[in-house]
Chain A
Amino acid sequence: MRLSWIFGSSMEAHHLLAAYVAVWLIQGGYAGWIAWQWVRAGKELQADLSLNTGEDEEF
């Protein structure tokens, strides 16, 4: 079966495409947000730890 019908102009084609795209976008967006927060929290934690151990201090 060909996939071209999914890009047709009928309501069922629009809604089917919208449902699949919405799932990918929302799931991907949430995973992306976690990844971004993960990197940010890691950098902040690293900065805190180096501040505590005095690694960054020059004197």
Chain B
Amino acid sequence: MRRSRIYGTVGLVWLVLTLAAIAHGTRLALVVAPTEATMGNVQRIFYYHVPTSMLSLLFPYVNFIASVFYLGWRRRDPMRALTADAVAIAAAEVTVVFSSLSLLTGMLWGRAAWGIWWTWDARLTSMLLLWLLYVSYLMLRKLSATGQTQTLAAVLSVFAAIDVPIVFMSIRWWRTQHPAPVFFGGEDSGIDPSMMPAFGWNVLGWAMWGVFLLVFRYALERRRQEREQEAALKSIEGSLEMAQ
């Protein structure tokens, strides 16, 4: 009880700091950052689009690592495997949330900047594929009726993770419609120093929010697992009583 109260307090402090960082980042993005010369105000979508896109490429790795641990532990140490599985499902859901927002904000920007909502460009297509893979992962977990759902999902997660470096490298390997990389893209990449505070605060704020969601969702999954174990225990006890 005392431990859960400490976790609750830490979570609340983390949430307050996160919301403060996001509020500050949003104010910098909308009010303080200069208007971009060629695109105008619609470029301000960048301050939300890039952090959400970066995070949608980071959380799949959490899912991947947790799935590998699940596969390794599922026979040797089932209790630890359950912990890894809870991390994996939490990371997959957070990935779907961030990648959905990356696609949505990108489309809103594309319509205003290019005049089209969508194009089958290398970055957009590989990102859509990433989104579909993690939606499939969640659907598999929700709808599969076999006793091997967690193992099948963990194997799918290993394959899904292969798409992440492809999404990241797509704008480096193929020069199609999507703008060139803003960071780590060579000599011509980068943004004006006056835009950096707005960008940096939004990366920090949304990363903290992502961690908050991941931990909160993980805790929920552990609570569900605990309840399933209770139900299983009760059913065994019931069967034993009937046998006697």
The residues of A with any CB-CB pair to B shorter than 8 Å are 1, 3, 5-6, 11-13, 15-16, 18-20, 22-23, 26-27, 30-31, 34-35, 37-38, 41-42, 44-45, 48-49, 51-52
In the complex, which residues of chain A have a beta carbon less than 8 angstroms from the beta carbon of B209?
Answer: 27
8 A-B pairs with least C-beta separation: A12-B42, A15-B108, A19-B105, A15-B112, A19-B108, A41-B223, A19-B45, A48-B230
The yes or no answer to B216 lying at the interface (CB within 8 A) is yes
The residue in A11, A13, A23, A41 that gathers the most chain B C-beta atoms within 10 A of its C-beta is A23
The residues of B with any CB-CB pair to A shorter than 8 Å are 26, 30-32, 35, 40-42, 44-45, 48-49, 52, 93, 97, 100-101, 104-105, 108-109, 111-112, 209, 212-213, 216-217, 219-220, 223-224, 226-227, 230-231, 234
In the complex, which residues of chain B have a beta carbon less than 8 angstroms from the beta carbon of A30?
Answer: 93, 97, 213
The residue in B35, B108, B209 that gathers the most chain A C-beta atoms within 10 A of its C-beta is B108
Cα distance A51–B11 in the bound complex, in angstroms:
30
Q: For A51, give the chain B residue with the smallest CB separation.
A: B234
Given A15-B109, A20-B48, A34-B31 contact (CB < 8 Å): no
In the assembled complex, the CB of A24 is this many whole angstroms from the nearest CB of chain B, namely 9
| Secondary structure type dominating chain B contacts | helix
In the assembled complex, the CB of B4 is this many whole angstroms from the nearest CB of chain A, namely 10
Can you name 28 A-B residue pairings with CB atoms under 8 Å? Answer: A1-B35, A12-B40, A12-B41, A13-B41, A15-B111, A15-B112, A16-B41, A16-B42, A16-B45, A16-B112, A19-B109, A20-B26, A20-B45, A22-B108, A23-B48, A23-B105, A26-B104, A30-B97, A34-B217, A37-B220, A38-B216, A38-B223, A41-B220, A41-B224, A44-B227, A45-B226, A45-B227, A48-B234
In the complex, which residues of chain A have a beta carbon less than 8 angstroms from the beta carbon of B212?
Answer: 31
In the complex, which residues of chain A have a beta carbon less than 8 angstroms from the beta carbon of B219?
Answer: 38
In the assembled complex, the CB of B168 is this many whole angstroms from the nearest CB of chain A, namely 21
Given A6-B30, A12-B112, A34-B45 contact (CB < 8 Å): no
In the assembled complex, the CB of B192 is this many whole angstroms from the nearest CB of chain A, namely 16
